[in-house]
Amino acid sequence: MRHAKVLIVTVAASLLLWSCVEEIKPKTNKKPIVWFTRAPKESSVIFSNAAEFEWIASDWDDDLGMGATYCKLDTIGMPPVQYERVFENRQEVINLPDSTFSFRVKVVDAKGDSTVISRRFTVRFDNLPPVVDSLYCPAAKQSPAHLTVHYVVYAHDVAPSPRSASPPESLKYWYRFRGPSGFQTIEAEDFEYANWAGGTAYHVQFEVDGTTYQGEFRFVTKVMDRAGNTSAPVSCEFKIE
């Protein structure tokens, strides 16, 4: 019985010593966790000369309060720049030239461990609308009959630099076709890609019952580039009489 008591005391002492060792044993530091909540999409092309970035950082060790955050914007193909310390989780870069960039955020915790996140994007600044070069329309006067009327829109984009201009096949077109009283207006639901001459012009046609609807018909169209700039509307009319 005496030996059993000694054994129990020995085991208890061992457990106590082990728990103390566990308490003083240094824990492995956890790196910060960082992610973007606002930024251009990875490897995307933006048509603005400014970009906004926002991020969230957290840490399992809860020691970011004594850490620091740094940002930098590198131009691809140029020597990298130095990190600069920031005190907010939001940064806006402006007046960017046409080029490819990499925006980086580095978050360092109190123990010196860090996490870096980056976002690569290309700027093709375009703040100018496209131009409608010509609009092919039906003859100005039509006889009362069943007609098929055709419209063809030719356009090109204008931009601060040739690299920023939208290719002809990337332009989108919108239209509205109205007639006299009783004629139901026909309108595109949204801007559509070109569908004529290899994607470099927009073609649309309408069936008109000229024996029922007589009077003035008007076609209006607009063009939009990749940057979302929209041309001035262009229109033409014809009459059935």
**pLDDT tens, position by position, 115-162:** 999 999 999 999 999 999 999 999 999 999 999 999 999 999 999 999
Name which residue leads in pLDDT, 169 or 23: 169
Q: Would you say how long the chain is, in residues?
A: 241
45 vs 163: CA distance, rounded Å: 12
Quick one: pLDDT at residue 34? Answer: 96
Residue 149 and residue 71 share a domain: no
C-beta neighbour count of 154 within 10 angstroms: 18
Q: What's the N-to-C CA distance of the chain in angstroms?
A: 123
43 vs 86: CA distance, rounded Å: 24
3-state secondary structure of 12: helix
Q: Is the model's pLDDT at 11 over the cut of 80?
A: no
> Tokens standing for 173?
């077109």
> Tokens standing for 16?
């106590």
DSSP one-letter string for 110-174: TTS-EEEEEEEEEE----S--EEEEEE---SEE-SSEEEEEEEEEEE---SSGGGSPPGGG-EEE
For residue 211, what are the domain limits?
Answer: 131-240
1 vs 181: CA distance, rounded Å: 113
Q: Average pLDDT, whole number, for the chain?
A: 90
Residue 235 and residue 175 share a domain: yes
In a domain, 180, yes or no: yes
Among the candidates 76, 98, 123, a domain finishes at 123
- Please give the distance of CA 185 from its chain centroid, rounded to a whole number: 33
Range with the poorest average pLDDT among 21-25, 65-69, 108-112: 21-25
Q: Is the model's pLDDT at 235 over the cut of 70?
A: yes
CATH of residue 198: 2.60.40.3880
| pTM of full prediction above 0.85 | no
Q: Which residue(s) pair with 147 in the sheet? A: 208
Nearest to 151 by CA among 213, 209, 222: 222
Mean pLDDT of 4-12: 45
Residue 158 and residue 116 share a domain: no
141 vs 149: CA distance, rounded Å: 12
pLDDT band at 26 (very low <50, low <70, confident <90, very high): low
Residue 162 and residue 71 share a domain: no
Range with the poorest average pLDDT among 5-14, 155-164, 199-208: 5-14
CATH of residue 80: 2.60.40.10
Q: What's the DSSP call for residue 64?
A: G
H or E element in which residue 51 lies: strand 51-58
Question: Per-residue pLDDT tens for 93-105?
Answer: 999 999 999 999 9
Residue 219 and residue 191 share a domain: yes
Residue 135 and residue 54 share a domain: no
Mean pLDDT of 196-202: 90
**What is the number of domains present in the chain?**
2
> Tokens standing for 3?
């030996």
In a domain, 116, yes or no: yes
Mean pLDDT of 76-104: 97
In a domain, 20, yes or no: no
